[in-house]
Structure 1
Amino acid sequence: MIIKQAHNRERDIEELNTLLALPYIDSDTKDKISREIRNIQSGMKGEKEAAYHMNFQWTESKNWMVIHDLRLEYNGHVAQIDHLLLNRFMEIYVCESKRFGEGIAINEHGEFSAFYKGKSYGIPSPIEQNNHHIKLLQRLFDSDNIELPIRLGVKMKPKLISLILIANSARISRPKNEKRIEGLDRIIKNEQIVKRINRDIDNENIFSMVRSVSKIISPETLQSFAESLAALHKPLEMNWRARFGINEPIEPTPVKAEHVDPVQPQDEIQPQADVQDNAPNAAPTRLFCASCKKTVSSKVAHFCWSNKARFQGRVYCYNCQRSIKKPAD
């Protein structure tokens, strides 16, 4: 059963594309924004592929609960967990989803590298990253922040199991001493997740099986526990302007010149048309937001005017632009 779907990141991508279109940001900032967009899109593809295999297998199941995209905060620490798989034996598979277009490589020291255009570059260990998530979950379950199932008067703490999920199209280069590196066998491709879980079950010894059976809970209790865990989700609202240090350019406030009537000979008074011709030398008109009346720059105004279909010919400051949706294609 699916308890929680993944968060839709399209709004973030739309906001980043809006920042990318600003005429006053430098090329370095544009490169950083473009890279962030690519990272979000790549992450979405990886998580979507993993979610497809999970949803296909367990959507109709009452013995397994699936939680996608869970962000937890506890005692000042944060864990952004891609997927959780919960079963009636109080086992929770904590899944970290990674999408590396050209694959990953692990050396004999357990150090990870990814590839871009054929060249390798070092990356943080996804094993350690997932261990961080598991540790936070353990602390959460040790606290009173979530109600655990109780059997015979004893709280039943879940068993947490790590899985690192890699895109099906990516290659995984493992070292020869793979068995000596802890956690390396938990790195699999998305399409292998069901086989990996079945193998875990087959590898349990008789004592583990007895212990698992003694912890079994009803489907209703499992669903209630999963829903309580999903309710702890704390969505992150990104301030992308602050992230990239983007501020609207400040232009000097025009000072209205004091009007002085020219002194002219009575017989040489110039016609009114000539006075109007001098209008370009007068103080420029103040540009302001049609919604909040905040002063905006000419560049922001031109951006709004060039997007007439969206802003209906009006001028809005950046903050107010965010509340106006793009017209449907």
Structure 2
Amino acid sequence: MYLIIKDLSVPIQILKMRALLRRIPEKHAKHATIQDDLIKFESGYRGEQYVKYYLNFLPQNNFYIFHDLRLSTNSHTFQIDVLLLTQKAAIILEVKNMFGTLFFERQFHQFIRTANDKEEGFPNPLFQVQRHRSLLKQFLTDQKAPAEFPIEYLVVISQSSSILKTTETTIDIFDKVIHAEKIPLKIESLLKRYTNTILTSRQLKKLSTSILAHHCPPNHDILQKYEVSPAELQRGVQCPDCKSIPMQRKKGHWLCVTCGITSKLAHKQAIIDYLLLVSPTITNQKCREFLFLSSRFAANRFLNSMELVLRKNGRGSSYCLPESQFEK
């Protein structure tokens, strides 16, 4: 049996980068950089999706599962791809969605990938997950978890076609590096090493609640990160077909003057883009300005139809998009 305490969802960074690419011209100086970064983030997210599938086959133990967890301790913030909690131990999974031949070199502690006749060096994921283990240990100490509560870790390569290599004298690395399909058997093997139950069911539940309460989602200013000014964003409703901006409001629907299609709902993506890029809240006036919309009543109807959270402040009102709606 397992219980997903924090589920996997589309990372907010991906949503913001997608929105930014919709709102800047292809000839923009940062377009290619943002596109490359988006490819990397989406690859990582797909890797975590693969891992989530294999977690369905976990052995029959009581598991509490956290996906994409971000915690802080002693002014250090760290992100864990997957955290498994049991009464006997915690297990960290560091997920890498990489193809080709992956070589773990021990002498210089290098992690080298060879793919398409190209050799590249990457940060060693074993060092990364060991650092996360140390920080998690401190975090659990802060939460009054028993000092003897063990923390295991694994580097999970999501691509089953990837070839893992190391030197003969360092074969022990593969006790910590596995393909995603081996997750159920490997975790079952890990837990057999521990015969003592450290946490009671009540303590496990309390600790899980505390971990979730301390999760701190990233709140990066995507425009600041890529040095894009709000004035550089293309305002208006984007055509869902040919992607041109802006569409025109004609007789109760949106008309694309480039390809001629019409839409009644194209404004929704534009409002979401504003919330992702410009500000986490939007007013009726800002909505009209961003959509090139003249009708206050139409803007009010659009905002109220999108299941946004209404915030009343004195004489004005603003709307924000709840986190659960972003991936929709």
TM-score between both structures, scaled by the size of structure 1:
0.67
**Matching residue of 2:96:** 98
From 179, 201, 204, the equivalent of 1:222 is 204
Verify: 1:161 aligned to 2:149, yes or no. no
Verify: 1:77 aligned to 2:59, yes or no. no
From 162, 165, 174, the equivalent of 1:174 is 165
Select the structure that is richer in strand. Answer: 2
Which aligned pairs between 1:286-297 and structure 2 lie closer than 5 A?
none
1:107-127 deviation per Cα after TM superposition (whole angstroms, max 9, x unaligned): 352311224534121100000
Three-state SS of the structure 2 residue aligned to 1:138 is helix
Q: Is the 8 A contact 1:74 1:140 kept in 2?
A: yes
Q: Is the 8 A contact 1:71 1:79 kept in 2?
A: yes
Three-state SS of the structure 2 residue aligned to 1:169 is coil
Paired with 1:41 and 1:322, the residues of 2 have a C-alpha distance of: 26
Aligned-residue Cα RMSD (Å) equals 3.6
Cα deviation for residue 141 of structure 1 reads 2.5
Verify: 1:107 aligned to 2:105, yes or no. yes
Cα deviation for residue 238 of structure 1 reads 2.1
**Matching residue of 2:251:** none
Which aligned pairs between 1:191-210 and structure 2 lie closer than 5 A?
191-201=181-191, 204=193
**Matching residue of 1:268:** none
Q: Is the 8 A contact 1:2 1:67 kept in 2?
A: no
**Matching residue of 2:292:** none
Which aligned pairs between 1:312-323 and structure 2 lie closer than 5 A?
319=278
Q: Residues 107 and 28 of structure 1: is their aligned pair in 2 closer, same or farther, counting only changes over 3 Å?
A: farther
Three-state SS of the structure 1 residue aligned to 2:229 is coil
Cα deviation for residue 241 of structure 1 reads 0.9
1:231-252 deviation per Cα after TM superposition (whole angstroms, max 9, x unaligned): 21111122111111101448xx
**Matching residue of 1:136:** 135
Paired with 1:23 and 1:229, the residues of 2 have a C-alpha distance of: 38
Q: Which amino acid aligns with 2:210?
A: S
Three-state SS of the structure 1 residue aligned to 2:214 is coil
Identity %: 20
Three-state SS of the structure 2 residue aligned to 1:57 is coil
- Gapped regions of structure 1 (runs ≥ 5): 149-154, 251-296
> Which structure would you say has the larger Rg?
1
**Matching residue of 1:189:** 179
**Matching residue of 1:16:** 17
**Matching residue of 1:305:** 246
Q: Which amino acid aligns with 2:118?
A: K
Cα deviation for residue 164 of structure 1 reads 0.5
Paired with 1:40 and 1:195, the residues of 2 have a C-alpha distance of: 28
